[in-house]
Amino acid sequence: MAADSNGVARTGGDGDLLSVESIEVSYGPIRALFGISLSVGSGEMVALIGPNGAGKSSLLHAIIGLRRPSRGRVRWRGQDITGLSTQQRIRLGMALVPEHRRILATLTVEENLLVGGMILPRRMRQTQADRMIERFEVLKRKRSQPAGVLSGGEAQQLAIARALMPSPALLLMDEPTLGLAPLVATQVFALIDELRAAGMTLIVVDQNARRVLNAADSAYLVRTGRIAQSGSADELAAREDIFGSFLGGSGDD
């Protein structure tokens, strides 16, 4: 667990899959993260909640190496990986389902999957794409169609399947239900539950704070580039003040 019995988030403990230590991230003169620390144990799900612009995406990007922190460290199984590229981190076992999905609209569904498997040897790439197509019914039906024809929910499934191509140990998900109808969002959370049951470690950012807290083990509330609260997901879910003042009521369905 990333939270101890007092609900205080630990950092850098033995057995953590990932830990982030005092990360600072800036965009030119704009500071986005002011010394954020968190940790996630193997098989655990961490929820990141917080208002728009709080720094949640920046944190995920720093974890996977899309954004270099100006300070702080990222550790993977205890090893300092702060200097590694995104591709090296993907090889270690991280994957990102990016905000707004970012699927390649002119490529077919299958080609999108193959792009997700770039780090795999060619033969394994196709085998793995076939596996994903078997697993996700909608991808099977639309395998040869341009990904641009997919509905929002279908595109989200493709984005998740693409991230799963290299069989990651840690999946980072940035707003996986953004813009989806409630029923489709429910399906995405069902998929998250399935991934959890299969032992996947997850860090999930979602606007629907109540729902993501309900699914997670531990949670961090990010506000103006800092961790404002952390603890077990149950503890944060019980904090009505968080939903009222920090999230502006966005935790409601």
Q: Which residues here bind ligand ATP, judged by CB under 6 A?
A: 27, 30, 32, 50, 52-58
Structure tokens at 112: 């999108």
Q: Which is nearer to ligand ATP, 58 or 156 (CB)?
A: 58
Nearest one of 157, 160, 211 to 182, comparing CA atoms: 211
Residue 198, burial from CB neighbour count under 10 angstroms (0-12, 13-18, 19+): exposed
Residue 60: count of CB within 10 angstroms of its CB: 23
Nearest one of 193, 216, 222 to 1, comparing CA atoms: 216
**Strand, helix or coil for residue 136:** coil
Using an 8 Å Cβ cutoff, are 222 and 50 in contact? yes
Q: Which is nearer to ligand ATP, 56 or 125 (CB)?
A: 56
Q: How far is the CB of 175 from ligand ATP (least distance, A)?
A: 6
Q: Which residues have C-beta within 8 Å of that of residue 43, sequence separation ≥ 6?
A: 196, 199, 200, 201
Q: How far is the CB of 100 from ligand ATP (least distance, A)?
A: 9
Q: How far is the CB of 220 from ligand ATP (least distance, A)?
A: 12
Q: Which is nearer to ligand ATP, 9 or 54 (CB)?
A: 54
Return left, alpha or beta for 123; rule: phi > 0 is left, psi -120 to 50 is alpha, else beta. alpha
Q: According to DSSP H, which parts of 105-171 are helical?
A: 109-116, 122-135, 137-141, 152-164
Q: How far is the CB of 56 from ligand ATP (least distance, A)?
A: 4
Q: Which is nearer to ligand ATP, 60 or 139 (CB)?
A: 60
Q: Which is nearer to ligand ATP, 54 or 200 (CB)?
A: 54
Q: How far is the CB of 25 from ligand ATP (least distance, A)?
A: 8
Compute the distance between CA of residue 90 and CA of residue 70 in angstroms, rounded to an integer.
Answer: 21
Q: Which is nearer to ligand ATP, 33 or 109 (CB)?
A: 33
Q: How far is the CB of 201 from ligand ATP (least distance, A)?
A: 20
